[in-house]
A and B are shown apart, each in its own frame.
Chain A
Amino acid sequence: MTDVTEQNYPPGKHPSLPPPRNMTGWHVWIWKNFFGSITNTVLTFLSIFLIWQIVPGALDFLVFDSVVNAGSRAECREIADGACWAVIVERFEQSIFAFYPEEERWRVILAFILLFPTVGILLFDGFPARAKLMKFTIAYPFIAGWLIVGGWGLEPVSTDKFGGVMLTLIIGVTGITLSLPIGILLALGRISKLPAMRIVCVAFIEFIRGVPLITLLFVASTMLNYFLPPGVQFDLLLRVLIMVTLFASAYMAEVIRGGLQAIPKGQYEAADAMGLKYWQSMRLIILPQALKISIPGIVNTFIGLYKDTTLVIIIGLLDVLGIMKTALADPKWNGLPEEVYIYTAIFFFVSCFAMSRYSLYLEKKLHTGHKR
């Protein structure tokens, strides 16, 4: 707009020119985003003011005035008046293993370490020798279950000793891995041409979605015993796992149904016209596309489920939040809710943020050019 140096080119010979210099560069970006308009400028200064107000105090409390080595809250207060991380240091192992017998904890650690290659094989298609290692991912749940619960040569550990991070991960990972396939089947059932199939799936989804998870957990902890034949003992943790999985599956089904409905009819028709059978066209054509569209919703459900695991506290299971709350009741550490809740929050945030980043990575990877 400043220097109009209109050069003349013969028709059809105009070259592509670089954009004017004041259109690109970091200083332009800063100017546009922070001071582009009066509102932006006001908001920028307001934000700087707030950061200046909050951050120094927060850093003092969390880092500079915090205490890591101390035996009790009183000792903490003598040293400095910032956060008393000593409570976390002392309770750290308990926050992970809860009441799991100390001499057997290596089994949980091993199961946890094995979780990483399993997840890596499943989630990243660049993993070396992925196709061969897929068998291991199928075996993993059984290996981990055996390691944690015991039996067959290992000291059995009763599930009421479970708790903390370990319990959160057990419920979260089980719920997440099972709710996806069950949700897919429910979603396909709900849009099926067979009326009986449709009615069963709709009834299941609507019932489970219409009831709060806490109610289902109560059912799991108390009422299920009435439905089972007398004498049949059904592990409480197992019942909770089933309920959490069913709950998440119902939500998952609706998320995936949304994805299925976004697939144009032409995709189904092309698959049909080529002679693919129902399950083939679902597996090869429809689901890959529908799941891709549903990734944000699926991960949303996963994160929701993962955080909902804290609700098991209501039926007496102590997940990571529950076990840390017991620290608050300890006279030695009484009165340190901030430290305990910040620790729990960080744990959940790290897990959920990782899931969220993975979903973005996956969306980017599966992007195949523009939609028609």
Chain B
Amino acid sequence: MSEAAIDTSGMKVTDEVVIEIQHMHKWYGEFHVLKNVNLTVNRGERIVICGPSGSGKSTMIRCINRLEEHQQGHILVDGIELTNDLKNIDAIRREVGMVFQHFNLFPHLTVLENCTLAPIWVRQTPKKDAEEQAMHFLSKVKIPDQAHKYPGQLSGGQQQRVAIARSLCMNPRIMLFDEPTSALDPEMISEVLDTMIELAQEGMTMLCVTHEMGFARKVANRVIFMDGGEIIEQNEPEEFFTNPQSERTKLFLSQILNH
């Protein structure tokens, strides 16, 4: 990732609300993980979520595509409410792509098969079209030449880029990133972040749990700080980093920035 400022002309936040979380609570057994979370995301927003471990940031974005179930409150994605109705869950999952910390590629399938699986089986795309599209996105993440290898033969950075391409093949309207660079060797982080920046420049709505503050400054239009299952503070990146409001945020920032 170069230090130069990036072209932000493609990043436009619209008025259209794509995710709405209202008074959301979640418990793991007796443990209250998410407490009264309220969040509205407009199309085109790039939101970075940070906070200490155990603060509920991953759990929150995993609630958005129902990998975790919330017990109280409402979550609306693209106007569809997440309930126990499988039809709604399926509809939302088709529109929301997700990238995981540990990539979660399917090790028994080639890179290309990883990318075409969901389009073929979920969207009923003909195999040939799905492969063409997969090659398009693999070129975009700059690894078309690895298409016929198995994930186990790639480096961590390459695997994570495949995972991003795999999500993009479903043409999602929203992308969730759950600590996408935390499991990578330092020299591979930037290739993944570059891919994510490119995605942001094309106007993708992104929610990203990460501690890459350089990425947050460059790309995010909003940074959210969570602690103890609550959203403590949210602001534009410049304001957030230079002028944090709460003591908790100040402490957190001093810990991750000054070492």
Interface residues of A (CB under 8 A from B): 264, 266-267, 269-270, 272-277, 280, 284-285, 288-289, 292, 366, 368-372
CB neighbours (8 Å) of A274 from chain B are 93, 117-118, 122, 166-167, 170
Task: Among A292, A366, A371, point to the contact of B152 (Cβ < 8 A).
Answer: A371
Complex interface residues of chain B between 59 and 80 (CB less than 8 A to chain A): 65-67
Task: Among B67, B105, B107, B121, point to the contact of A276 (Cβ < 8 A).
Answer: B121
Beta-carbon contact of B100 and A289 below 8 Å: no
CB neighbours (8 Å) of A368 from chain B are 107-108, 150, 152-153
Beta-carbon contact of B152 and A273 below 8 Å: no
CB distance from A364 to the nearest CB of B (A): 14
Beta-carbon contact of A269 and B118 below 8 Å: no
Beta-carbon contact of A275 and B122 below 8 Å: yes
| A-B residue pairs in contact (CB < 8 Å), sample of 28 | A264-B102, A264-B104, A266-B100, A267-B104, A270-B98, A270-B100, A270-B104, A270-B106, A272-B66, A273-B67, A273-B96, A273-B97, A273-B98, A274-B122, A274-B166, A274-B167, A275-B90, A276-B122, A285-B106, A292-B108, A368-B153, A369-B150, A369-B152, A370-B152, A370-B153, A372-B103, A372-B151, A372-B159
CB distance from A194 to the nearest CB of B (A): 14
CB neighbours (8 Å) of A370 from chain B are 152-153
Beta-carbon contact of B108 and A289 below 8 Å: yes
A370 to B154, CA, bound (A): 9
Query: Quick one: given A272-B93, A274-B118, are A288 and B108 in contact (CB under 8 Å)?
Result: yes
Beta-carbon contact of A369 and B153 below 8 Å: yes
A267 to B93, CA, bound (A): 16
Beta-carbon contact of A269 and B67 below 8 Å: yes
Beta-carbon contact of B67 and A369 below 8 Å: no
A266 to B167, CA, bound (A): 15
CB neighbours (8 Å) of B166 from chain A are 274
Chain A CB within 8 A of B161 CB: no
- Per-residue CB contact flags for chain B residues 122-166 toward chain A (1 = under 8 Å, else 0) read 100000000000000000000000000111110000010000001
Beta-carbon contact of A371 and B107 below 8 Å: yes
CB distance from B173 to the nearest CB of A (A): 13
CB neighbours (8 Å) of A372 from chain B are 102-103, 107, 151-152, 159
A272 to B86, CA, bound (A): 12
